[in-house]
Amino acid sequence: MKLKYIALLSFALLIIAPIQANVKPAPEWGPTGHRVVGKIADTYLKGSTKRAIEKLLKRHSLSFVSTFGDEIKSDDRYREFYTWHYVNMKANESYEDSEKNPKGDAVTGAEYCIKILKDKNASDDDKAFYLKLLIHIIGDIHQPMHAGLAEDKGGNDVKVKWMGKDTNLHRVWDSDMLEGYNMSYTELASNADALSKEQIKVIEAGTITDWVNESHALANTVYKNVKRGDNLSYKYAYDNLTIARSQLQKGGIRLAKLLNDIF
Ligand code: ADE
Ligand code: ZN
Ligand code: ZN
């Protein structure tokens, strides 16, 4: 009798575990992507900005705190911040004319963080919290699938294979493609493309909304190039890693620009 129960329980677990693993949307740029953005931003910070940030972050690096936004997702007390990681728009829409999520999105989230960081009356603890979130969100908005469609949760529901293994289009861009590249975040950051002063100026220009619209345009192309069930492999990485690396670099430069303006 006991054996029968154990067999039944094992069978149920065998069925439930993969279902559970599938319902949870992928995390953000994996840790590597966020750390690259932090590491690149670091190289563009003014001395005075660096000192202000060091004090708030108690000497932890931007890369170290860049994953904080994902870490607090496991803590129910921070549930209200969940929608700040992404922004959804219809394919032919820009952020300005899209229907806004009443719970907030990456744009309103980042703007709120900036507001607290500029507020003379905010406590250092609050400033540290929203600084860590801002560092994370600016990374997220440069992942094209964080500015994708609502109907498939930014590609989370577009099931594909990566090198023959089940995954989804969102996760390919968050982590599969970068991990497959097999470079550490410091190597990726130090091998970012050399840019002229003019090129950096162009990247720094614009608003968070402009950057989200740019990411959304990239998401439209990503969707066009992939069909459900595709097995994405070396050719996909060959065609898309340049874009992913460029987005990480833009994320870093723009994060530094925001921080230099705030501090
Ligand atoms: N992660 C969870 N839901 C998402 C969505 N709708 N768009 C992008 N990323 C998400
Ligand atoms: Zn993600
Ligand atoms: Zn995130």
Task: Tell me which ligand sits closest to the C-alpha of residue 176.
Answer: 2
Task: Tell me which ligand sits closest to the C-alpha of residue 27.
Answer: 2
pLDDT for 166 equals 98
Whether 146 is in the pocket of ligand 1, judged by its Cβ within 6 Å, is yes
pLDDT for 21 equals 45
Q: Is 169 helix (H, G, I), strand (E, B) or coil?
A: helix
Contact 95, 216 (CB under 8 A): yes
Contact 99, 219 (CB under 8 A): no
Question: Would residue 232 count as lying in a domain?
Answer: yes
Residue 185 CA to residue 195 CA, distance in Å, equals: 19
Q: From ligand 2's centre to the CA of 174, what distance in Å?
A: 5
pLDDT for 26 equals 56
Q: From ligand 1's centre to the CA of 106, what distance in Å?
A: 11
| Domains of the chain: total | 1
Residue 77 CA to residue 92 CA, distance in Å, equals: 36
Whether 104 is in the pocket of ligand 1, judged by its Cβ within 6 Å, is no
Question: In terms of Cα–Cα distance, which of 243, 73, 69, 85 is closest to 173?
Answer: 243
Which segments of the chain have a pLDDT < 50?
A: 1, 6, 8-9, 11, 13-16, 18-23
Contact 24, 239 (CB under 8 A): no
Length of the chain, please? 263
Q: Is 12 helix (H, G, I), strand (E, B) or coil?
A: helix
Q: What is the token pair recorded at 140?
A: 């997220």
pLDDT for 24 equals 53
Nearest atom (ligand 1) to Cα of 150: 6
Q: Which residue among 81, 88, 171 is best mutated to probe the pocket of ligand 1, counting the most ligand atoms within 8 A of its Cβ? A: 88
Task: Tell me which ligand sits closest to the C-alpha of residue 153.
Answer: 1
Residue 54 CA to residue 48 CA, distance in Å, equals: 10
pLDDT for 218 equals 98
Secondary structure of 66-91 in the HEC alphabet? Answer: CCHHHHHHHCHHHHHHHHHHCCCCCC
Question: Would residue 26 count as lying in a domain?
Answer: no
b/e burial code for range 69-81 (CB count within 10 A of at least 16 → b):
bbebeeeeeeeeb
Q: How distant, in Å, are the alpha carbons of 124, 127, 142, 144 from that of 131? A: 10, 6, 17, 22
**Secondary structure E strands in 107-226:** 159-162, 165-168
Question: Would residue 159 count as lying in a domain?
Answer: yes
Across the strands, what pairs with 159?
168
Task: Tell me which ligand sits closest to the C-alpha of residue 109.
Answer: 3
Q: Which residue among 86, 149, 172, 218 is best mutated to probe the pocket of ligand 1, counting the most ligand atoms within 8 A of its Cβ? A: 86
pLDDT for 18 equals 46
**Residue 188: which CATH number?**
1.10.575.10
Question: Would residue 153 count as lying in a domain?
Answer: yes
Whether 25 is in the pocket of ligand 1, judged by its Cβ within 6 Å, is yes
Q: What is the token pair recorded at 112?
A: 């709120």
Q: Is 160 helix (H, G, I), strand (E, B) or coil?
A: strand
Q: From atom 4 of ligand 1, which residue's Cα is the shortest distance away?
A: 153
Question: Would residue 151 count as lying in a domain?
Answer: yes
Q: What secondary structure letter does DSSP report for 175? A: I
Q: What secondary structure letter does DSSP report for 159? A: E
Do the strands 159-162 and 231-232 form a parallel or antiparallel pair, or are they unpaired?
Answer: parallel
Residue 116 CA to residue 124 CA, distance in Å, equals: 10
pLDDT for 8 equals 45
Question: Would residue 81 count as lying in a domain?
Answer: yes
Q: From atom 5 of ligand 1, which residue's Cα is the shortest distance away?
A: 153
Domain that holds residue 164: 31-262
Question: Would residue 214 count as lying in a domain?
Answer: yes
pLDDT for 13 equals 45
Whether 88 is in the pocket of ligand 1, judged by its Cβ within 6 Å, is yes
Q: Which residue among 146, 157, 215, 216 is best mutated to probe the pocket of ligand 1, counting the most ligand atoms within 8 A of its Cβ? A: 146
pLDDT for 152 equals 98
Question: Would residue 14 count as lying in a domain?
Answer: no
pLDDT for 134 equals 98
